Structures are given as C-alpha cells and as structure tokens.
Amino acid sequence: MTERVIDPAALVLLQGLEPDAEQLREDEAALVRAARAGNRGAFGDLYERYARVVHGIMLAHAPAQVADDLVQDVFERALSNIGGLRDVNTFAGWLIAITRNRVRDHFRRNMASEELPEVAVPANAQPRAEAAAALEAIRRLPEAYRETLMLRLVEGMTGPEIAARVGITPDSVRVNLHRGMKMLREALNP
C-alpha cells in the first residue's frame, strides 16, 4: 500500500509555505505510479488533489447542477485509462485534457444547454440570485480568467495552488486573477 504523503500544496494553506515544485512532482509521480498499478488509495489521493481543479474548470463551462456528475465521470475515465498513461509526470495535463474533452462531449450531446441556466443554487449560497448572477458573470469572461477565478473564488484555491495544479506559472495566475477580477467588478457593477 502506498504511504499517504502530505500534499505540499496544502502546506500553503496550513503554513503559508510556497509549494516545492520538485517535491510536488515527485510525490505526485509516486501516486500516479501506484494508481497505475491498481492502488485505489493512491487514486483517491489524486482525486483529493485534483477534484477541485476539475470541478472549477467544469463550472467555468457547464451548469452547476451537472458539474458534480461530470467530475465523477472525468475521474472514472481517468481511472479506466490511467494504465495507458506513459509519463507519470504528465498526469495533471492529461487529466485536464480529459476534463475539457468531457465538457465538449457534454455540449455536443446537450446543445440546448448552451445558455447555462442556473436552476440548482446551493442552499448555503446567499443570496441565491446574487450567487447565480456572479457565476454567470464569471462565465462570460475570457477563458483564462474565467477558469482561474472559478478555482480561486469558488473552489477556494490559492494562486500558488492553482499554478502548481494547472501547470502555469504563479505570475500568470496572478495576472489572470487581477485582470479577471477587474473585468468581473465591471460586469457586476456597471
């Protein structure tokens, strides 16, 4: 059984530390190797690390009421295909590619859903209408800003976490967040 390792990205929240990119890669590669060999615990750890990323990307494109199902579907696909992942260091990019393909599949099958109506607002998002409006406003932003803001404002990830998970530089994340937030403010307070 694979020893559970502390997610270095979580240390950012716990201790205010910047994640060690090299350590992160090594830990993750070990998890991917174990998951590839059939270790469910390792795959569960990968899910814990990446579920918010996949969910955030889903929310940037698909209605909230189907996002959870699509996340489950993405990880089921990953689970059944992880044996074919040759380079364990490419897991994040590979998973995000599956996510984007799943979003495209969803819209191919549900052409009528392109308007992304929000009918299932969580009870704890108050006030509901405001939350739905904010979500819609983020979705109208350019893709790079929209996904980064979903990961930051909805999923609660920090900029360094987003950078480590999505595979872009922290500076790019910072820029996307600030530019996206500026556009969002303008959209919400015209």
Query: Of 37-66, which residues contact other proteins (CB under 8 A)?
Result: 38-40, 43-44, 47, 51-52, 54-56, 59, 64
Sign, CA dihedral 20-22-169-131, equals negative
Q: How big, in percent rounded to 5, are the helix, strand and coil portions of the chain?
A: 75, 0, 25
Which residue in 109, 85, 7 sits closest to 52, CA to CA? 7
Nearer to other proteins, 124 or 190 (CB): 124
Asked if 122 touches other proteins (CB under 8 A), the answer is yes
Which region among 3-11, 23-31, 88-96, 129-137 touches other proteins (by CB under 8 A)?
129-137
Asked if 169 touches other proteins (CB under 8 A), the answer is no
CB of 111 to other proteins, least distance (A): 16
CB of 93 to other proteins, least distance (A): 20
Q: List, in order, residues 6 or more apart from 79 with CB less than 8 Å away.
A: 35, 43
**Among 9, 19, 159, 183, which residue sits at the site for other proteins (rule: CB under 8 A)?**
159
End-to-end CA distance of the chain: 55
